[in-house]
């Protein structure tokens, strides 16, 4: 509502309205499986009616929600470069070669994102898929019966679990525990948004038990002071990048080099490999 008030305050006199929404409103309500409301699509259509020209968000839960406003500019920008850069900076001894490092998809919906990470790093991809009990609904969702792992042996390898967001963190911690039981050396967790809706107690305990080594996430949403000070947490500062996006839009410059991280990631990984070989 505050966003709508700001737009209405322009009284239709703004030359152009650009909206940067780091965490897309109701991003998880992007499709209907039963009779749920399509909140995200409705929100985008409302902004369209209010005359918003460009919408920029980061790592949308499903970027296909842009189909709700096909005639408007909608950019879902990945945070992969900044996350990889932060991980390599804080853990300089990572050996990104097959047999020593793997990327892990925590569920079937994260496979495309994790495929990109694995392809850029030139390392294997492991996948967990979930078996649900569709006869029950607990806390608004079908309970998970079991996780099954598809991938090569993780014994002795560092692994990176990648997702778009950490809600309660139960899935990520359950997978981390299973990976350690399979012999994984270190477990790193990465997500664009660390919501931590159940607090950080379980993550702190997992860190103390050696189940996880680090959680890497951005400052694109609110983070409690407790989380920011946690020894396992590494914050990825996106402030300068967002400022560059806003500056480019206001100067009618191309966003292509900013929103496409492939070239930057390639250069970063080449530099890291040269440095680790010295």
pLDDT in tens, 79-89: 999 999 999 99
Domain membership of residue 19 (yes or no) is yes
The residue range of the domain holding 59 is 2-77
Which letter, b or e, does each residue of 81-112 get, where b requires 16 or more Cβ atoms within 10 Å of its Cβ?
Answer: bbbbbbbbeeeeebebeeeebbbbbbbeebbe
76 and 59 in contact (C-beta within 8 Å)?
yes
Are residues 70 and 92 both part of a single domain?
Answer: no
* pLDDT tier at 140, thresholds 50, 70, 90: low
Domains of the chain: total: 2
The CATH number assigned to the domain holding 49 equals: 3.40.50.2020
pLDDT in tens, 94-132: 999 999 999 999 988 899 999 999 999 999 999 998 888
pLDDT in tens, 202-261: 999 999 999 999 999 999 999 999 999 999 999 999 999 999 999 999 998 888 888 889
Are residues 47 and 103 both part of a single domain?
Answer: no
Are residues 99 and 166 both part of a single domain?
Answer: yes
The residue whose two tokens read 């039963």 is 34
Are residues 149 and 170 both part of a single domain?
Answer: yes
Give the per-residue pLDDT at 142. 76
Q: Tell me what the pLDDT averaged over the chain comes to.
A: 91
Are residues 62 and 128 both part of a single domain?
Answer: no
Are residues 163 and 71 both part of a single domain?
Answer: no
Paired residues of 218 in beta bridges: 236
| Model confidence, pTM | 0.91
Q: Could you give the CA distance from residue 130 to residue 145 in angstroms, rounded to a whole number?
A: 7
């Amino acid at each position: 509502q505050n966003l709508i008030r700001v737009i209405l305050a322009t009284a239709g006199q703004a030359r152009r309205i650009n909206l940067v929404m780091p965490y897309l409103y109701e991003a998880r309500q992007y499709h209907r499986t039963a009779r749920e409301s399509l909140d995200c699509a409705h929100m985008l259509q409302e902004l369209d009616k209010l005359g918003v020209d460009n919408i920029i968000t980061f790592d949308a839960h499903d970027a296909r929600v842009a189909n709700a406003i096909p005639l408007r500019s909608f950019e879902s920008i990945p945070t992969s470069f900044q996350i990889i850069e932060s991980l390599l900076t804080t853990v300089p001894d990572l050996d990104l070669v097959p047999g020593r490092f793997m990327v892990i998809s925590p569920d079937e919906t994260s496979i495309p994102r994790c495929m990109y990470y694995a392809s850029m790093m030139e390392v294997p991809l492991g996948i967990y898929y979930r078996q649900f009990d569709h006869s029950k609904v607990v806390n608004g969702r079908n309970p998970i019966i079991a996780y099954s792992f598809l991938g090569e042996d993780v014994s002795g390898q560092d692994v990176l679990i990648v997702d778009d967001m950490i809600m309660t963190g139960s899935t990520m911690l359950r997978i981390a525990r299973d990976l350690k039981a399979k012999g994984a050396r270190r477990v790193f967790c990465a997500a664009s948004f660390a919501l931590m809706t159940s607090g950080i107690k379980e993550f702190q305990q997992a860190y103390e038990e050696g189940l996880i080594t680090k959680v890497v996430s951005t400052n694109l949403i609110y983070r409690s002071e407790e989380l920011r000070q946690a020894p396992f947490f590494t914050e990825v500062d996106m402030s300068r990048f967002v400022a560059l996006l806003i500056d480019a839009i206001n100067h009618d410059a191309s966003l292509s080099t900013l929103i496409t991280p492939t070239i930057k990631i390639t250069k970063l990984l080449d530099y890291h490999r040269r440095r680790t070989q010295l």
